Amino acid sequence: MKKEGKEITMASANTQIVSDSPSSSSKSTHQFTYEVFLSFRGEDTRYGFTDHLYGAFISHGIRTFRDDEELERGGVIASDILSAIEESKIFVIIFSEDYATSRWCLDELVRIFECTATEERLILPVFYHVDPSEVREQSGSYEKAFVDHEKEADEEKKEKIQKWRIALRKAANLAGYDLQKYGYETRLIKEIVDVILRELNSKLLLHVSKNIVGMNFHLEELKSLIKIESNDVRMIGIYGLGGIGKTTIAKVVYNNISGQFESRIFLENVRERSKDHSSLLQLQKELLNGVVKGKYQKISNIHEGVNVLRNRFLSKRVLLILDDVDKSEQLQFLVGEHGWFGPRSRIIITSRDQHLLEEYEVDASYEVKVLDYEESMQLFCLHAFKQNILRKDYVDLSNDVVNYVNGLPLALEILGSFLFNKSKLEWESTLQKLKRKPNMNVQNVLKISFDGLDEIEKEIFLDVACFFKGWNEIDVTRLLDHAKIVIRVLSDKCLITLSQNIIWMHDLVQEMGREIVRQNHPKEPGKWSRLWDPDDICLVLRRKMGTEAIEGIFLDMSKSREISFTTEAFRRMERLRLFKVYWSHGFVNYMGKEYQKLLLPEDFEIPSHDLRYLHWEGYSLKSLPSNFHGENLIELNLKHSNIEQLWEGKKYLEELKMLTLSESQQLNEIPHFSNMPNLEQLNIELCEKLDKVDSSIGILKKLTLLNLRGCQKISSLPSTIQNLVSLKRLYLHSTAIDELPSSIHHLTQLQTLSIRGCKNLRSLPSSICRLKSLEELDLYGCSNLETFPEIMENMEWLMELNLSGTHVKELPPSIEYLNHLTHLELRCCQNLRSLPSSIWRLKSLEELDLFGCSNLETFPEIMEDMECLIELNLSGTCIKELPLSIGYLNHLTSLGLQCCQNLRSLPSSICRLKSLEYLNLYYCSNLEIFPEIKENMECLIKLDLSGTRIKELPSSIEYLNHLTSMRLVGCENLRSLPSSICRLKFLEKLDLYGCSHLETFPEIMEDMECLKKLDLSGTSIKELPSSIGCLNHLTSFRLSHCTNLRSLPSSIGRLKSLAELSLSGRPNRVTEDMENLRNPGLSKIEQLFPSRNNIHHIPSAISQLCNLECLDISHCKMLEEIPDLPSSLREIDAHGCTGLGTLSSPSSLLWSSLLKWFKKVEVQFLFEFFFPSFNYKILVKCN
């Protein structure tokens, strides 16, 4: 840091200011209804190229306007078209041969250019079987069209024709796309989609303060590590001190490069948001939602999440940024390893822990260092003066501040924001405070900003620092008066940040706030205003040290020892406002160990009249104290409690808005609701003894949530429920309800109705279709429900309908009236025999799941494209064939036909599924033929034909030219592979395990540069072609139980990327195979599996495998000698090697071999012995 002061003009060339908007402030901030407007000549391209392009836009989540009218309505452009043009951001104009014959199209074109004249928008011309020069010069078919237009044209029309000509010339002069240069329409469509996604993504930037400096340097350094053009998957770490700016730098990188990726996700505050497995699951769901663009897929646990994420990531070029990681578990479950991601993906991880990044083996790390003097001054001025110029009369003062803070961005921002608009006298006073403590830490620097708050702002700041970090803003504003305004003030002063309505506070700021609470009585927690540390709380309660100073207690019992609460301990806490007892790591039921940690006497009382928030998990008494003061209570949460009734007698809780009594298994009654007239949310799920809902519930005019899930004794709802005019969510899962009241249609605000698992429910009232606001109807597991009512009126908001596990035999034809339905689930509806022919009219449907409908024999004809349908699951059905019209589903990305054992063939039209990514035919055991691929299926990336009866693959398989994974496991009838398979340039995994009649593997005539895993285990292959050595990116090669394979070709030594080689179960050939290990080209092998073979010794060449980590020689019963082993080895499996002797004998060959190895590598080791039938396994782990 420079020490001398000097006048600085901040608008220098070195100043780097990064805006949170890609455009300048003078440009419009228009929020568009449509992202793309398609202009085209209907008769030319509507059902071909334009439809495919439109489908590609929709499948990528691009909001697109396409005029569906085929007539020009008198030639006058319609008002809705004009409106759509004005409300569109990008225009794709498809110039076809007869485009200029349409006055409608030409008027559209003129209007498009008029819009772009006043506001910057993007126009992309596409020349479809027409030369751009014809459009520019109006020659050829365009000349003929204009001759017709000019016939008998009056002056007005001539003026219009001139505008048409000018617009055509302008369009043809723009950079556009000529189909002739692309050859295939699919290639052109992919290019257009990529360009539009890049353009849209460049505008969807993360919010970054305008007041940041030095960013170009960080950006360029990180770009050199990211290597954006490299085809590899790269993981980059960013590390440094807290408050140094890691998150800001990561956001700037995201904003700069995200437009080049197919999927991009920025996951903030991972450390704060992943305290346990349930919160990690939420982060996995957030990742999934980001990568599949809102497509519907459920995950129930983190282990399932790993598989789902890996499968979804693998096909895409992903930019994923994990912000503030502090545990390897977070990386394990969120990003896994390089192999999860598609080529050219980039994963960026920010952390304070450099060692964590090194341990995870990121490809490169970048350290963020403190700002130098000039950068510090720039950042400080941007906050202290709100401009790029250092005021001359503040040079010395600014110099002193900047030198003091020592380059930490967070401190500069907060201190600068505090000093903004302050007088010189106030600046000098602030500096005096700093200078009085020359070794003052950063928390004390930040405290100066706290001192500038008014009293109300200070109180709410301390509440957030002690209790509410990570809470939703809505919940905090409900509990604290004035919070809405104060939260904005704190945000403006950089003391908190808001992200998706969640309140975040930097650790340094939080610690500063907590230190303020402690500072006056550092060793007397009973005199603090707020208590959050379990040890401090237990000390105060055990020693009865509490005073009237205490306003809030949040006790995490997961981190606490056993404790007894007494009335005496709380007697002096007369100002207690906020009280929470909870288990951050999950509560064990109230009869379990955790509950016993907190003991309450029968006469327990809380004397405070100020209580606004009471959250007590596992409350052990049968009711709240008789003198409980609830007049100011806003939220009461007693989940997992032992409570039987809330209190004895009558209490009036006028302010109460949220009441949660869930999993209180002794609860048998709820007080009269007239005592809590302003209740907004009532959650009494899993209260197993509760047998009714009091009819007084009808007075709750503000109630928005009613949750009765798991209240197994509740068999009916009171008729007064119709009076809940504000109710939005009603959960009745697993209750004993046998019918819904017919008056349910009065719940006009209801959005979610969940009745899943109500096994007594036999029918639904017809009035249910009058729930005009209903968005989700869940009837999963209503196993006695046999009919779904006719839809008599349009339910325009219903998007999700789940009938899985019901006994419905059919859906009514009127299902077509659910024209906004996006998800229809009918899993395991075993009585369902057919679908209505009208189902294709569900134009908004995205997912149709019929998994396990074992009596469903036919799938209806698709009369028109279901342009939104992206997932169709017919797995486990009885379907014998698919209709030829399945080809109309040209936006489908996933087709599941797993275990359709009656399916004998696929229609040839399946190759028209241009958007299909996953085709699963696993165990379709009667499928004998895979159809010819007559057209490119450029999106198909995964094909599973395992367990089918196919004898061969068509040579046209090469048209699946973006396939990354092909599984043919257990295809016992398969006898050969087509030579064209080597043209699958993107194939990464080819699995032929158990194809027992496969005798040959084709010559590799072309480089398969992406193939990494090849499994030929259990095949009858006799000889591998020498061209196998061309697979120079192969990392895993499995040849287990290939007993017919004579030998490995010498060319195997050219597999220089090979990391895993499996040769188990080749008893007569493995010794010769292992001689190949002498080839230096195999030095990268990390895992070697020569198990279950008749070898007497392991070739000494194994010592040359300097990267070998795992050696499996199990069940090599004739093995008598182990040579010198490489020092890289970390695991040996030698169980069943009876010829080596036993570990119990120090003179055994095994002992002597291993001791030589241990002495050689000088490691600490641990043996784990397993003695099933006196065999053993040795696992050697090294530190």
Catalytic residues: 108
Name which of 94, 98, 144, 102 is nearest 123 in CA terms. Answer: 94
What are the structure tokens assigned to 1024, written together? 């591998």
C-beta of residue 675 within 8 angstroms of C-beta of residue 682 = no
Q: Do the bridges between strand 497-499 and strand 502-504 make them parallel or antiparallel, or are there none, so unpaired? A: antiparallel
Q: Please name the residues in contact with 1162: beta carbons below 8 A apart, sequence gap of 6 or more.
A: none
Q: What distances in angstroms separate CA 338 from CA 86, 235, 313, 357, 889, one per listed residue? A: 44, 8, 10, 14, 33
Strand pairing partners for 563? 598
Burial degree of 336 (CB within 10 A; 0-12, 13-18, 19+): middle
Give the integer Cα–Cα distance in Å for 910 and 1178.
Answer: 51
Q: Do the bridges between strand 552-556 and strand 502-504 make them parallel or antiparallel, or are there none, so unpaired? A: unpaired
What are the structure tokens assigned to 634, written together? 């806003």
Name which of 392, 370, 374 is nearest 4 in CA terms. Answer: 374
Phi, psi of 35 (to 5 degrees): -90, -30
Count other C-beta atoms under 10 Å from residue 731's C-beta.
21
Give the integer Cα–Cα distance in Å for 79 and 85.
Answer: 10
Give the integer Cα–Cα distance in Å for 835 and 826.
Answer: 11
Give the integer Cα–Cα distance in Å for 965 and 917.
Answer: 11
What are the structure tokens assigned to 543, written together? 């020693």
H/E segment holding residue 492: helix 483-492
Give the integer Cα–Cα distance in Å for 664 and 687.
Answer: 5
Q: Please name the residues in contact with 802: beta carbons below 8 A apart, sequence gap of 6 or more.
A: 756, 777, 778, 779, 780, 823, 825
C-beta of residue 94 within 8 angstroms of C-beta of residue 45 = yes
C-beta of residue 786 within 8 angstroms of C-beta of residue 808 = yes
Helices (H), 1046-1166: 1070-1075, 1149-1161
Q: Long-range contacts: 305-311, Cβ < 8 Å, 24+? A: 305/281, 305/333, 306/333, 306/336, 308/284, 309/284, 309/334, 309/336, 309/340, 310/336, 310/339, 310/340, 311/942
C-beta of residue 746 within 8 angstroms of C-beta of residue 770 = no
C-beta of residue 737 within 8 angstroms of C-beta of residue 761 = yes
Query: Edge-to-edge strands of the sheet including 177-178?
Result: 64-66, 34-39, 88-95, 122-127, 177-178
Residue carrying structure tokens 């007494």: 566
The 3-state DSSP composition of the chain as helix, strand, coil percent (nearest 5) reads 35, 15, 55
The DSSP line for 740-784 is --GGGGG-TT--EEE-TT-TT-----GGGGG-TT--EEE-TT-TT
Phi, psi of 409 (to 5 degrees): -55, -45
What are the structure tokens assigned to 97, written together? 């041969």
Phi, psi of 431 (to 5 degrees): -65, -35
In 913-1016, which ranges are E strands?
A: 918-920, 942-944, 965-967, 989-991, 1013-1015
How many Å is the Cα radius of gyration of the chain? 35
